[in-house]
Structure 1
Amino acid sequence: MEREDTTTSPDNTQSESVSVSVPLSAVLRYLIPIAVLLLSANYVNETYGQIRAENLYYPYLIIGVMCVLSLVVIIEETIDLRSVQRDIGTHEALAEYVNQWRVSISLAILIVIYVVLIPVLGFFSASVILMTASMYATGVQRWRLATLVIIATLSLIWLMFIEVLGIQPPAGLIDGQIYDLLPTL
């Protein structure tokens, strides 16, 4: 029978033993980078030979960068786990981990929401929401400058894709209404 050790904190509450906190923290620390590596391998597996190679240079470059960065995160987390304070409970270990990765986790969630919003609202409306929310999540203090950056970025995208290349991004509900009004202006 395994013995469950508990410790009493200064406010007389009991916390879980180290035997739970370190492995659980390790699982969570490796979860995102391993998921990125697995999803990247799956993408390469599904697209290799199915799409012309010259169309895959850029996606494979991005996937390669993501995989290298994921490996760097795994190495850093391994080093951090070796220096983890062994007498903290699971709750404290998870709170420290989430606090350390708060911005990255927020941006990952925002990107998932962005992908869902593009077909519903349209590319430009969803991009305004994503850029505003990501700037808020990263702690931008100068909102006038942030607004200028959003407008300049989306204007450049508009010029490059719609005006120069003639590529129409997904319209969605809001962008579709705006596109309908533009020829009348």
Structure 2
Amino acid sequence: MSTRGVNEKTENSVSEQTEKVDHTIIRLVKKLAFPTLVLAFCLMYLNSTWNRLELSTLVYPYAILLLTLALVAVIYAKEIFDTLSKPTATLSISESVKRLLSEWDVSILVVVTAIGYIAIMETVGFFPASFLAIVTIMYIGGVQNWRLIGVVSIATLIAVYILFVVVLGIRPPSGYVQIEFTVPW
């Protein structure tokens, strides 16, 4: 191996060691996001079943819930202890947030699109809201061909219409804007 290769490896390892990591708070948020989501779902389940169902039917689900809550508590304790016990050079909170947003920008836009989809469905109805959501998510996902986006969106909605409205007889939300499709058969 040449000395040039050894020098490059040494320089790379030094730069990797001095690279700053995200701020402690941001690292904790990243590590605890999923356990927090699990905790939220557990609490929502508990809220939706408490005093509504007979306790004898909930013994097994509540045992699983209790086990899940215990595991979440252990994960919280471990991650907090591990993160706080290892002091490292960190970025500022604003730099860490910028890095986080640049890593998760597509995911954040998809979540915002989903929230918008749910919000406008009652107003404009299922099919127009679904069309907008499909177009937006395809564009966010990197599809730049508008013809492809249009064809896929329309084909998907036609398939959904045939399956749910025609075959199964399910009426999706129509919203305040009444758009009725009639089937000739």
TM-score by length of 1: 0.60
Moved more, 86-95 or 157-166: 86-95
* 1:145 matches 2:148: yes
* 1:113 matches 2:116: yes
Aligned to 1:26: 27
Aligned to 1:124: 127
* 1:38 matches 2:46: no
| Runs ≥4 residues deviating over 6 A | 48-51
CA-CA distance at 1:26 after TM superposition? 2.3
Aligned to 2:96: 93
State the AA in 1 paired with 2:27.
A
Match of 2:171 among 159, 164, 168: 168
Alpha carbons of 1:155 and 1:22: their partners in 2 closer, same or farther (altered >3 Å)? same
Rg larger for: 2
Unpaired runs of at least 5, structure 1: 1-17, 52-70
Alpha carbons of 1:37 and 1:153: their partners in 2 closer, same or farther (altered >3 Å)? same
Unpaired runs of at least 5, structure 2: 1-19, 54-71
Alpha carbons of 1:149 and 1:39: their partners in 2 closer, same or farther (altered >3 Å)? farther
Alpha carbons of 1:129 and 1:37: their partners in 2 closer, same or farther (altered >3 Å)? same
TM-score by length of 2: 0.60
Percent of aligned positions that are identical: 28
CA-CA distance at 1:143 after TM superposition? 2.0
How many corresponding residue pairs? 136
Once the two structures are superposed, what CA deviation does each residue of 1:54-103 show, in whole Å capped at 9, x if it has no partner?
Answer: xxxxxxxxxxxxxxxxx9xx9xxx7xx89xx8242222111011110111
Indicate the RMSD between aligned Cα atoms, in angstroms. Answer: 3.4
